[in-house]
Amino acid sequence: MRRTRKPRSPTLPAPRPALPSPWPWVLLGLATAAVYLTFYLQPGLLWYAGVQHYPIWFADISALLASGDAVRQGLNPYTPNPLDYFGRPHVYSHWWLELRHLGLTRADITWLGPLVVGLFWLATLRALRPGSLRQGCYYFLLLVAPPILLALDRANNDLVIFLVLTPLVPCLRHTSRGVRLLAPVLVALAAGLKYYPAAAGLVLLTPAAPGERRWSVFLGVVLLVATALSVAPDLALFGPLAPHPSGWMSFGAASGLTTLGWTGMAPTLLALAGGGVIFTWAWHSPRLEGWTPATDQSDSWLHFVLGAVLLTGCFFTSANFAYRWVFAVWLAPFLWRLAGDAAAPAPARRLAALTRVLLLAVLWLDTLYTWTIIACRDHATPDTLRLGLKWSFLAEQPLTWAFFGCLLVFLARFTRDGLRGLLGRAPAAA
């Protein structure tokens, strides 16, 4: 008797994982572009965001071009410059003066300023890819925060540093060893332009084969030493002329003490000691034991470390204008992902969630105080308003310290594991 075969069920291909919707990312780009364009067309509105707009756009890039023009005319750029709108001297390294060899003059500010701002906007959209509308709203509040608007209004050269360091993590994650070794070059280039990016060398401790990691660190040290020798004499030229940020729209670990009237090196030394205590505690703390960034978080983790070490280094060593917060863009994706990672230990998730909240707080508090002052300006004297601004700034300091304390916990973990890898030791057991 002939057997009848059962028809075979068709073999279906395994379903592909659903890609995240691009709409939150598209909406983020459109919303931020609309806000930036609105402020550009109506710059008077910036005052309500706590940003002082002067009768010139992109003033900081313009100052750099004016310094190059001064050199062309035989003027000393490290003295008050009559070619600059505000008469400012050049307060950066001589590397910026080489822009004149590209044929750039003050007349080029009409296209160069918008280009720098536009490239920064594109770089932020590349770094921030929200997977939900809620995440997109968080990123939106970050990108339209007053310190970011201040940087865009002035086209501050921190935007240029941001762009120079944007390829750093992609280089470190590249499959080619030659490309990976370009990372120290980017760090040295950024450091030569503005000194503080030398702190970005910490990311050279990123996991890699011990031999390659040692070569990367060695190359970074050599390049940074060569850079320091090149730009150190510039400090003697502009050091006494460099501005000293204080109060509203600035941040620094010693800012609270200096606002209270402390002078000299004591506030900075106390701030460094406080940061050292937090870092030492975090180094030995078991709070993040058992946690390692997930494989799909590797890029966002390195970007986080890059942004965190730049901001933290500036916070504990000097007072800074608020536009340095542009590097906070690199913090947000990792904080968001870790806070929602069910596989991560609860202490790591809670730390990320707290840091995420504190980030928006420190970015927006100055403007909340500004709105309060605007509401009260018809009912208080100027002296009363100035006093209120002073004490509101002091009240902000504990939150700012809490935020940077959280960053130090993460940085201590990265540094400890990186140094162990550099020495060929296994990471601490979970």
Q: What is the DSSP secondary-structure string of 314-366? A: HHHHS-EEGGGGGGGGGTHHHHHHHHT-TTS-HHHHHHHHHHHHHHHHHHHHH
CA dist., res. 182 & res. 177, Å (int): 9
Tens digit of pLDDT per residue, the chain (430 long)? 455 555 554 444 544 444 467 889 999 999 999 999 999 999 999 988 888 898 899 999 999 999 999 999 999 999 999 999 999 999 999 999 998 899 899 999 999 999 999 999 999 999 999 989 999 999 999 999 999 999 999 999 999 999 999 999 999 988 888 888 899 999 999 999 999 999 999 999 887 766 788 888 899 999 999 999 999 888 877 777 777 777 778 899 988 888 888 888 888 899 999 999 999 999 988 878 778 888 778 899 999 999 999 999 999 998 899 999 999 999 999 999 999 988 889 999 999 999 999 999 999 988 877 777 777 777 777 777 777 777 888 888 999 999 999 999 999 999 998 888 777 665 554 4
- 3-state DSSP assignment of residue 250: strand
- Cross-strand bridge partners of residue 251: 320
**What distance in Å separates the CA atoms of residue 21 and residue 28, rounded to the nearest whole number?**
13
DSSP E strand boundaries for 50-127 = none
pTM over 0.85: yes
Could you give the CA distance from residue 226 to residue 211 in angstroms, rounded to a whole number? 23
Let me know: does 193 contact 234? Beta carbons within 8 Å: no
Rounded to whole angstroms, how far apart are CA atoms 253 and 318?
7
Q: How far apart are CA 166 and CA 189, in angstroms?
A: 12
Looking at residue 251, the DSSP 8-state letter turns out to be E
Question: Is residue 404 classed as helix, strand or coil in its secondary structure?
Answer: helix
The type of residue at 273 is: A
Using the structure block, give the residue that is written with the tokens 């910036």: 46
pLDDT at 430: 42
| Cα–Cα distance for residue pair 363/142, rounded to 1 Å | 8
Burial of 32 (0-12, 13-18, 19+ CB in 10 A): buried
* pLDDT score of 287: 79
C-alpha dihedral over 215, 216, 220, 226, to 10 degrees?
A: 40
Q: CA nearest 243: which of 162, 193, 318?
A: 318
Q: Give the tokens for residue 329.
A: 């863009």
Q: Which two tokens stand for residue 424?
A: 């060929």
pLDDT at 1: 47
Asked if 167 contacts 123 with a C-beta cutoff of 8 angstroms, the reply is no
Q: Give the CB-side neighbour count of residue 208, counting CA atoms within 13 A.
A: 22
